[in-house]
Amino acid sequence: MDRFLTPHADGRPQVMGVVNVTPDSFSDGGRFVETDAACDHALALLNAGADWLDIGGESTRPGAEPVSEADELARVIPVIEAIRGARPEARLSIDTMKPGVARAAVRAGAAMWNDVNALRADGARAAAAELDCLVCLMHMQGEPRTMQADPHYQDVVTDVARMLGQQVGAVLSAGVARERVLIDPGIGFGKTLAHNLALMACLDHLTGLGFPVLFGASRKRFIQGVDESAVEASDRLGGSLAAALHAARAGCAIVRVHDVRETVQALKVQAAIAQAGGIA
Ligand code: PT1
């Protein structure tokens, strides 16, 4: 499994491109149009240099409403099958909190279960133990619909590290091999601007736990918190690149982003500079 997580030869992390399969992401042209548009987008991200694609059928953005298992399956499985048909070698991740969706996605070819709920749903750990896939455990306080109402921590860095440590322990006890586990601080998931910045400033606390770290800050609201003019998600590329470069320097294994080509280029330039510094 860990052969999937080897960094590039220049030391830069892997890049995971985001593929949202939610009706509001595309025109309301029906399921076939939705599948087609998501698959086209996925192939474009692979051409732009994505090492992974993260496929999600339920938004986990602040305020997002839950989606039924049947709807989520109907959204993501055809997209996974279409990508596998076009690019069998592509590494695919399923972004879901539901064990039933993860099971079907892995059966259809997904190599990672990315769970923003850290396998806390009923039956999730048992399902993960059965499945032959990587699992990413992310920290979230609360649930997407209400998580930004009143986030609070004693000390956000130690609280997040402790919670992830506990979830890792539970997952290992359920029978998941430690080589299959990644962790993620969950930027924007039940966190104020100060919480998000503190977590980013102390990423080495998480990388030091001994598991590969997946990091997702792309286009998130904290960027607007720093730069008030970045109101639209599409106006947050600069902040997203700054966060991805920082995560790479901190030793993260995978950065989850929307703007794959720009991120790969930024990471390559940073790695080239670091390499030149090492030789000089
Ligand atoms: C993430 C992540 C994810 N983020 C992982 N999976 C999202 N492992 C979905 C905002 O503040 O970071 N890691 N799956 C997207 N969720 C959000 C959360 C999007 C917050 C936007 C915000 O704007």
pLDDT tens digits, one per residue of 64-105: 999 999 999 999 999 999 999 999 999 999 999 999 999 999
pLDDT at 26: 47
Task: Compute CA 53 distance to the chain's CA centroid, rounded to the nearest angstrom.
Answer: 9
**Position 157 pLDDT exceeds 60:** yes
Whether 270 lines ligand 1, by a CB cut-off of 6 Å, is: no
What pLDDT score was predicted for residue 186?
98
| C-beta of 139 in contact with ligand 1 (< 6 A) | no
Catalytic residue positions? 220, 256
Q: Which of 25-29, 207-211, 219-223 has the lowest mean pLDDT?
A: 25-29
Ligand 1 atom, smallest distance to 216 CA = 12
What CA–CA distance (Å, rounded) separates 236 from 226? 11
Of all protein residues, the one whose alpha carbon is nearest to atom 4 of ligand 1 is 216
May I ask the CATH class of domain 3-279? Answer: alpha beta
pLDDT for residue 208 is more than 80: yes
The mean pLDDT of 157-180, rounded to a whole number, is 98
Q: Is 214 close to ligand 1, i.e. is its CB under 6 Å away?
A: yes
Measured CA to CA, the distance from residue 269 to residue 280 in angstroms comes to: 16
Mapping DSSP to helix (H, G, I), strand (E, B) and coil, where does residue 157 land?
helix
In the sheet that holds 14-20, the strands lie side by side as 181-184, 134-138, 112-115, 91-95, 52-56, 14-20, 254-257, 214-216
Residue located nearest, by CA, to atom 20 of ligand 1? 188
Per DSSP, the residues of 212-272 read -BEEE-TT-THHHHHSTT--SGGG-HHHHHHHHHHHHHTT-SEEEES-HHHHHHHHHHHHH
Average pLDDT, the chain: 95
pLDDT of the residue at 23: 80
CA 79 – ligand 1 centroid, Å: 20
**Cβ–ligand 1 contact at 221 (below 6 Å):** yes
Ligand 1 contact, 195 CB (< 6 A): no
Report yes or no: 137 and 146 within 8 Å, Cβ to Cβ: no
Segment 234-244 mean pLDDT: 98
Could you tell me which of 257, 265, 197, 199 has the C-alpha nearest to residue 227?
197
Question: Which pLDDT score is estimated for 24?
Answer: 61
Question: What does the pLDDT look like over 12-63, one tens digit per residue?
Answer: 999 999 999 988 644 556 777 789 999 999 999 999 999 999 999 999 999 9
Mean pLDDT, rounded, for 238-248: 98
| pLDDT tier for residue 254 given thresholds of 50, 70 and 90 | very high
CB 147 less than 6 A from any atom of ligand 1? no
Identify which of 21, 52, 72, 95 to mutate to test ligand 1's pocket (most ligand atoms within 8 A of the CB).
Answer: 95
pTM for the structure as a whole = 0.97
For CA atoms 56, 58, 59, 62, the dihedral sign is negative
CA of 214 to the centre of ligand 1 (A): 11
- Nearest-CA residue for ligand 1 atom 12 is 216
* pLDDT over 50 at 11, yes or no: yes
Does residue 115's CB lie within 6 angstroms of at least one atom of ligand 1?
A: no
